Amino acid sequence: MTKDQIYSLPQRRVGDFTFDDAVADVFPDMIARSVPGYASILSMIEQLSSRFILPNTNVYDLGCSLGAATLLMQPQAPPDCILHAIDNAPAMVERLRSIVNAQPPSGCRIQVHEADICEFALDHASFVVINLTLQFVPIEDRTALMQSVFDALIPGGALLLSEKICFEDPLQQALLTDLHHDFKRAHGYSDLEIAQKRTALENRLLPETTDSHVARLRDVGFGCVAPWFQCFNFVSVLAVKSEQPT
């Protein structure tokens, strides 16, 4: 695993964060050291896959990056499923295709797509993962994407949504931000790295409150919306489509 040192040196001007070759090179280290609870979320994606993925359905990893969730879901999926890994960053897609092509053929088929998840057609899905991705989608496009996911899911199908969140209470926002920064320091990031990355993400990562995410999921039709995990300012929510029409 290559160590993330992208923001270790002072930059005269910190540009917007992009998922380019430099980020793709260090992404596993970056996300493990930046997102508290990331390993726990991946573990639950694997467990939930075995519960929700059904034969002869599609599975989607929307905003798949290097395919951490995709590769955990594949062994849980019946051979007649198709697992679609979708990302709009060419650097991520290129590396994931290399990873998938290097694997011995086994389990369900993985199709890697370079595409905008807001425009990609979804259909006959039993399980959809959006893991730390919606936060990079323009807020005005998020409801339409959630509606597309809901409409594509079969009855009983599920969405796993993980996000960085914000808080309405300024004191709570300040506390959880400080705790997140402490987490980064404990994992080897300097104050300079934390500050420069925060600047880079300022216009790219747009968090919402947990209540906003839950309300949106209910509004598009999910019968059961269960926030199941929170660590500082990161949450994960499981939303299940009702077996019977409401």
Could you read off the pLDDT of 80-103 as tens digits, one per residue? 999 999 999 999 999 999 999 998
Query: Would you state the torsion angle of the CA atoms of residues 185, 187, 189, 195, taken in this order, to the nearest 10 degrees?
Result: -50
Q: How many distinct structural domains can be found in the chain?
A: 1
Here the CATH number for the domain that contains residue 115 is 3.40.50.150
Counting every residue, how long is the chain? 246
Is 245's pLDDT higher than 80? no
Is 11's pLDDT higher than 70? yes
pTM above 0.85, yes or no: yes
The pLDDT of residue 130 = 98
Tell me which residue range forms the domain holding 78: 1-246
Could you read off the pLDDT of 184-205 as tens digits, one per residue? 999 999 999 999 999 999 989 9
Quickly state the pLDDT bin for 106 (edges 50, 70, 90): confident
Q: Are 153 and 125 in contact (CB under 8 A)?
A: yes
Q: Which residues are annotated as a binding site for S-adenosyl-L-methionine?
A: 38, 63-65, 87-88, 116-117, 131, 198
The pLDDT of residue 103 = 85
The pLDDT of residue 200 = 96
Query: Looking at residues 24-50, what average pLDDT do you find?
Result: 97
Q: Which residues are annotated as a binding site?
A: 38, 63-65, 87-88, 116-117, 131, 198
Among positive and negative, which fits the CA dihedral 159, 164, 166, 167?
A: positive
Residues contacting 36, CB < 8 A, separation 6+: 180, 183, 231, 232, 234
Whose CA is closest to 61, among 14, 130, 124?
130
The pLDDT of residue 105 = 73
Could you read off the pLDDT of 113-172 as tens digits, one per residue? 999 999 999 999 999 999 999 999 999 999 999 999 999 999 999 999 999 999 999 999
Is 104's pLDDT higher than 90? no
The pLDDT of residue 188 = 97
* Measured distance CA(21)–CA(89) in Å, rounded: 9
* Measured distance CA(39)–CA(31) in Å, rounded: 10
Mean pLDDT of the chain: 96
Helix (H) and strand (E) counts for the chain?
8, 7
Is 244's pLDDT higher than 80? no
DSSP string, 40-75: HHHHHHHHHHHHH--TT-EEEEET-TTTHHHHHHGG
One-letter amino acid at 158 equals A
* Measured distance CA(182)–CA(170) in Å, rounded: 18
